[in-house]
């Protein structure tokens, strides 16, 4: 649905990932086109000033100055949650307004998608997610305010990568209460079409 995510300090708005929200009617059209049944996230209306880069990033281990902690199982538990501050930015007014029009279950997924893109970028700034598909490689699971996405994928600089995350939205649905994630390998280009992943906002090639 969303076409849109250091020390214990907030990321500045200039470094945040951008997102956009579409109406339920617009999403139905996108869902039919992509043969998907859950929300899609891309960038458009939230603050960002990052310039395109051509070099594909290499993943590195989380270091001690990142805003999250790694567990023995490899999941990174966020210690600083960012979706609420991203949506509170005045430049995010359009997306924040659109979020309030979504049904509760979809709004929770979109909050988690925003958090995922923000956390990925905070973990490794050379990764700049502009599109996230929570259900790309496997169906999501949702119970109450909690979402588990074992087969999500995000796009960064026209490359797609596997990511899994668990997320719990706040009771007021204004942000995220808990979040953990793990970035996986790059998804081969020859697998994009099977999972409705596109290099840009047009057709997958």
Say how many Å lie between the first and final Cα of the chain, rounded: 22
Instruction: Give CA–CA dist 12/24, Å, rounded.
Output: 31
CATH architecture label of 13-49+67-189: Roll (3.10)
Please state, rounded to an integer, the average pLDDT across all residues of the chain: 75
Percent of the chain's residues with pLDDT above 90: 56
Q: What is the pTM of this model?
A: 0.68
Question: What is the per-residue pLDDT across 147-197, written as a single tens digit (0 to 9) for each?
Answer: 999 999 999 999 999 999 999 999 999 999 999 999 999 999 999 999 999
The backbone torsions φ and ψ at residue 64, rounded to the nearest 5 degrees and listed phi first, read: -70, -15
Q: Is the Cα dihedral 95, 96, 100, 103 positive or negative?
A: positive
- Which pLDDT belongs to residue 134? 93
- Which pLDDT belongs to residue 47? 59
Q: Is the Cα dihedral 100, 164, 132, 49 positive or negative?
A: positive
Non-local (6+) Cβ contacts of 65 within 8 A are 6, 7
Sequence spans of domains, the chain: 13-49+67-189
């Amino acid at each position: 649905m969303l076409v849109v995510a250091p020390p214990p300090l907030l990321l500045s708005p200039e470094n945040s990932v951008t997102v956009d929200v579409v109406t339920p009617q617009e999403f139905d059209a996108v869902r039919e086109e992509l043969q998907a049944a859950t929300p899609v996230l891309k960038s458009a209306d939230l603050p960002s000033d990052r310039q395109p880069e051509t070099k594909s990033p290499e993943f590195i281990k989380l270091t001690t100055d990142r805003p999250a902690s790694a567990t023995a199982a490899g999941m990174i538990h966020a210690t600083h949650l960012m979706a609420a501050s991203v949506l509170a930015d005045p430049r995010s007014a359009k997306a924040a307004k659109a979020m309030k029009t979504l049904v509760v279950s979809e709004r929770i997924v979109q909050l988690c998608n925003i958090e995922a893109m923000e956390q990925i970028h905070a973990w490794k700034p050379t990764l700049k997610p502009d599109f996230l598909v929570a259900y790309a490689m496997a169906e999501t699971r949702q119970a109450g305010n909690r979402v588990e996405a074992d087969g999500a994928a995000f796009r960064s600089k026209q490359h797609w990568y596997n990511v899994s995350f668990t997320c719990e939205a706040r009771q007021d649905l204004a942000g995220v209460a808990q979040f953990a994630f793990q970035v996986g390998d790059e998804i081969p280009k020859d697998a994009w079409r099977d999972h409705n992943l596109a290099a840009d906002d047009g057709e997958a090639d």
